[in-house]
Amino acid sequence: MHRLVLSFGGILSWTAWAIVPVVFHGSVPAWATEPSIVFDNTPNSNGGLGFTALPQGAEVTLAGTNRVVNEIDLGVSRQGSPGTADFEVSFYANNGVGGQPGTLLWDSGLYENLPLSGPPQTLSFSVPSVVVPNTFTWVAQISNSRGSQQLAVGMVEATGTTIGGFDTDWFGGPGEWTKDQAQNEARIYAVPEPSTLAILTAGAIALIGYGIRRRRVAKTAKPAAFDPQDAPAILAFPSHPSTASAARRAA
- Higher-scoring residue by pLDDT: 23, 188: 188
pLDDT in the model for residue 121: 98
Q: How high is the mean pLDDT of the chain?
A: 79
Per-residue pLDDT tens over the stretch 31-51: 457 899 999 999 999 999 999
CB 169 within 8 A of CB 55: no
Look at residue 242 in the predicted model and tell me its pLDDT: 43
Q: Across the chain, how many H-helices and E-strands are there?
A: 5, 16
Contact 74, 122 (CB under 8 A): yes
The pLDDT value recorded for residue 148 is 96
Per-residue pLDDT tens over the stretch 165-219: 999 999 999 989 999 989 999 999 999 998 644 444 555 455 565 566 666 655 6
At residue 68, the pLDDT reads 98
Residue 235's Cβ-count burial label (10 Å; 0-12, 13-18, 19+) is exposed
Phi, psi of 69 (to 5 degrees): -75, 130
Q: What is the mean pLDDT of residues 87-106?
A: 97
Is 80 a residue whose pLDDT tops 50?
yes
Choosing among 2.60.120, 3.40.50, 1.10.3470, 3.90.550, the CATH entry for 32-192 is 2.60.120
Q: Where are the domains of the chain?
A: 32-192
| Beta carbons within 8 Å of 177's beta carbon, 6+ residues apart | 96, 100, 101, 170, 171
Name which of 16-20, 25-29, 120-124 the model is least confident about.
16-20
